[in-house]
Structure 1
Amino acid sequence: MKQSPRVLGRPRHNENAKPTKDIVLETATRLFIKEGYKNISMDDVAKACNVTKATVYYYYPTKGDLYTSALIAMMDRIRLAILHILEQPSPFKERLEQLVEVHLSATVDIDMKNFMREASINLSESQLKEVHISENKIYQTIEQAMQLEMEKGTIRKGNATFFAHTFMAMMSIGYFKDGEGKRLFNTVQETAKEVTTFFWQSVHNNE
């Protein structure tokens, strides 16, 4: 029986190799992190992956699609890491401190504000909606943990959404640098401790 011709741009499948789509996405994410959206072309991604440009376009029809997928994949990894920490049996305050430390350590080279700024400029309305859905899932994961700890009496009763957003906003202080590039605290560990302590003083149930 004669084999059907491959669809143009569809890569050959190798059962033992990592899926080409994953390789393209991972490579593109690294390039976007290092160079930014505007400075990376689909041709750059293809060359870095050692595949044809047609292959990249087969999986991601536009650079906007690729950037959207990169952001969503990044946020999904962040959410799963946060969930893993929050599900540990250690005291809630310790989990929050670990969350800040791990998150800041993992994203030290990622300018999320710039990522989102470039997304708002270059992505379509539907693509932005996809990104925001993934972003909201991160907040919802923390919000659910806050709600659970309220029910346990660990932290005072309040608006779990407000608590989650406040905590994330405080955590972002870890990215702050002054005009000379100096951070507020010397280490990620110190930042995690200061942020968590400050937050904890506001929400801890003292009854």
Structure 2
Amino acid sequence: MKQSPRVLGRPRHDGNAKPTKDLVLETATRLFIKEGYKNISMDDVAKACNVTKATIYYYYPTKGELYTSALIAMMDRIKLSILEILEQPIPFKERLEQLVAVHLSATIDIDMKNFMKEATINLSEPQLKQVQASENDMYQTIEQTMQVEMDNGTIRKGNAKFFAHNFMALMTVGYFKDGDGKTLLGSVDVTAKEVTNFFWLSVENK
């Protein structure tokens, strides 16, 4: 039986290997994290993946689309991690502290603020909206948990969205580094404890 010809431009796929699209996305994300958007070209991604540049363009027609997908994939992973932590059957304050610790550990080499700044500068409006929607999903995950804990009387009544955004804003303090590359509070565990305690003082149901 004659084999059907491949669609023009469609990369070959090895059934035993990681799907090429996934490989491209993971590799590009790693390169963007290390070097930033402007310093990484589609050719750099192709070389790192050991595929042709045509293969990269088959899956991601522009660098903007690749960067958009990288950001969304990163935020989706963070959201899943947040859900996993917040659904644990342990006290809410402990979950929040663990959330800060895990989040900071996972993003220790990532300048999230710069990541989003580069997105604002380099992405089209539709692409930026996709990224912002994914970012909002992360906030909503925490917001929903805040509302549940309010209803349960664990924390005081208030605006769950406001609480969630304040918590995430406090978490970003952990990203700060001085000229010597040192964080404000030292270790991730100390930062997680201090951030959580600071937040808890404002929402504790006394």
- TM-score, normalised via structure 1 length: 0.97
- Residue 117 of structure 1 aligns with which residue? 117
Percent identity between matched residues is: 81
Q: How far apart are the structure 1 equivalents of 2:8 and 2:112?
A: 35
- Residue 41 of structure 2 aligns with which residue? 41
C-alpha contact 1:97 1:196 (8 A) present in aligned 2:
yes
- Residue 70 of structure 1 aligns with which residue? 70
- 1:89-100 → structure 2 map (5 Å cutoff): 89-100=89-100
CA RMSD of superposed structures (Å): 1.0
State the one-letter code of the partner of 1:62. Answer: T
Structure 1: give runs of 5+ residues left out of the alignment.
none
C-alpha contact 1:37 1:118 (8 A) present in aligned 2:
yes
State the one-letter code of the partner of 2:104. Answer: L
C-alpha contact 1:24 1:45 (8 A) present in aligned 2:
yes
C-alpha contact 1:9 1:57 (8 A) present in aligned 2:
no
Instruction: Say whether 1:153 aligns with 2:153.
Output: yes
Q: How far apart are the structure 2 equivalents of 1:103 and 1:129?
A: 23
- 1:110-189 → structure 2 map (5 Å cutoff): 110-189=110-189
Residue 178 of structure 1: how far off its partner (Å): 2.3
SS of the equivalent of 1:10 reads coil
State the 4+ residue runs in structure 1 displaced beyond 3 angstroms.
1-4
Instruction: Give the number of equivalent residue pairs.
Output: 206
Residue 27 of structure 1: how far off its partner (Å): 0.3
- Residue 56 of structure 1 aligns with which residue? 56
Residue 186 of structure 1: how far off its partner (Å): 1.5
Residue 63 of structure 1: how far off its partner (Å): 0.4
Q: How far apart are the structure 2 equivalents of 1:4 and 1:44?
A: 32
- CA distances 1:156-199 after superposition (whole Å, capped 9, x unpaired): 00000000000000000001122333211110000000000010
